[in-house]
A and B are shown apart, each in its own frame.
Chain A
Amino acid sequence: MTAISLRARSGAVVRTRRRGTRQWAGRVGWTVLGWVVAIAFFLPVLWMIITAFKPEAAAETWPPQFTFSPTWSEFSSAFATIGPFLTHSAVATVGSTILVLLLAIPAAYALSVYPVRRWRDGLFFFISTKMLPIVAAIGPLYVIALRTHLLDTIWLLIILYTAMNLPLAIWMIRSFMLEVPNELLEAARLDGAGRIREMGSVILPVVLPGVVSTGLICVIFAWNELFLAINLTTTNASTVPMFLVGGISTEGLFIAHLSAAATIASVPVIVVGWIAQRSLVRGLAMGAIK
């Protein structure tokens, strides 16, 4: 009635190798496809970076050159003038993102942890402001900005970018807060945490990754924003996108110079996005779905 197990070694190696080959071939197929697609998507960015290192003469050739002697010259000429634009962009981006988070975190808390009776309407209201195209109000916005002496100031950009990103930030942070288990909050309440303390010491640490990824998305949208900048700023608050638009003449040879400027403009956000990729993916997809 008992079973005696004898180990049989001979079959093991053959089996694994046979199965392994089939699996391996499938993997190779997907790898090739995956990399072809990835390179196809990345190619324009790669081309931009390559072209940025070309001397102008080498950039406008047929066929396009893949080998050339790289130079920093286009970068240095771009850097010479891009300084103030970078500063303005940095201030506007960081400033508006901080303001967004300061406003969004309490709002998301109110909409998630405690039931506000018309919370559904509140959330919908925020989202609806995003649906109305900002372009519709650009004329009157210009006039208002002029009359309030905010035209061509960083403050105007900070104010507007905050309004632009706030709905999405509230939605995302709220979704992250909903994931905090009830038990955690109840335990904190039992331990005597008041409302603010509850939020600060209990919820915030748990949703911090979500807050970070929300902040990153706000940074991306604010840094890249063109329409408002181009209409409401000229010199004192002009941002990097405007440098690209206004600062590059399209007369004569310009492709390498353009590529260098575009690279400088895009690299900060690309690098940030790459580093925080996991957080970004989580925030974008998970935070928005619940």
Chain B
Amino acid sequence: MANVKYVSATRVFAKDTPPALDALDLDIHDGEFMVLVGPSGSGKTTALRVLAGLEPMDSGRVEIGDHDVTEVPPKDRDIAMVFQNYALYPQKTVAENMGFALKMHGVPREERDRRVREAARLLELDDQLLSRKPRQLSGGQRQRVAMGRAIVREPKVFLMDEPLSNLDAKLRVQTRSQIAELQRRLGITTVYVTHDQVEAMTMGNRVAVLSDGKLQQCDTPRQLYDNPVNQFVAGFIGSPAMNLRTAPLTDGGVSVAGKVLQLAVPIRNAAATAGLSELVIGMRPEHLHLAEGAGELTGQVVLIEELGADALLHVRLPEGGIPIVARAEGRQPPTPGREVSLHIRPEDVFAFHPETGARLAG
């Protein structure tokens, strides 16, 4: 049980290339479930591996429980890791797999067996599976054995590297909640890496969004959703994604397809102070409502995605470009080809600096 701290952690793979991890500063509280999320190449896996000690750091340091572990080898950091492809030892039985770390640390046989059986019970692994080899197990069972191997250690920190990515969709959803619940029960600090923002939002106490090796924002899921700090986070978090469009500034707001989209006063002031002539505006699909006639955005429906309870409308504006996605009631969605009018309240519109991507007046 311990907190984890990244202090200016940097990792460069080859000379003269941009850093895979660029001066990461992150504080993870004791017992917290922290999710590192981002697209591939964002540095999230590197951050995890640096914490594990599997990759050396080029500058900065990493602390576990307030001890600087930067130079400490993986086996002495008191961590356990679940690998993306499980990395189970192929020639060993499930029980031997789970007990391996304990054996390496000199734990006597009876206690090893006891802890392995306890972990197996916790993960609902049958006794008869304990004597099988990994190749005889299904994907879901292997995943649980990988988790069991980590749990048995009772480490200070759990590290998980996209453990659900090899499971089919249904199993993934099931296992997601199981992992979250398990972590709550055990209370062990967990650092979890994923590229799937839905996983991040549903599982994490806090989520750290990374891009190009840099930390973009670290916050609770709700805060990330409601108050993204820049365009990247706004576009990455939330499904379906936020609609982002570049639009020139005009009186009272921005001009979109000939009409004026009103913006809140603080945004207009920030834009004026920064001397901008155009902005990137962001609109969440659920903030765009069908307005009979008098909406700010009018266009043609090109596609309807029925989700059952509601529907996603893809509306193409007259000026062209990517259709705007709006959420509508599922009962009576408009038919494709129809002209619709969408309304959004000015206070629901996000605005970002066209060059830096930073949020204006957040």
Contacts and interface: CB of A to CB of B under 8 A. Distances in A.
- Do A and B share a complex? yes
Interface of A: 1-9, 11-12, 15-16, 19
B59 interface: yes
Nearest to B70: A15
Contacts of B59: 8-9, 11-12, 15
A7 B219 CA distance: 21
Task: Give chain A's interface secondary structure class.
Answer: loop
A110 B253 CA distance: 74
A2 B23 contact: no
Interface string B205-229: 0000000001101110001000101
A276 B215 CA distance: 48
B279 to A, nearest CB: 20
Contact of B57 (A6, A7, A15): A15
A24 to B, nearest CB: 14
Interface of B: 8, 10, 22-26, 56-61, 214-215, 217-219, 223, 227, 229
Contacts of A5: 8, 22-25, 214-215
Contact of A1 (B26, B56, B61, B219): B219
A104 B218 CA distance: 62
The 7 closest A-B pairs by CB, nearest first: A12-B59, A11-B59, A8-B8, A5-B23, A3-B215, A1-B219, A2-B229
A3 B9 CA distance: 13
Contacts of A16: 58
B26 A19 contact: no
Contacts of A9: 59
A19 B8 contact: no
Nearest to A15: B59
A19 B22 contact: no
Contacts of B56: 19
Contacts of B218: 1-3
Nearest to A11: B59
Given A1-B223, A2-B229, A19-B56, A8 B23 contact: yes
A12 B58 contact: yes
Contacts of A3: 25-26, 215, 217-218
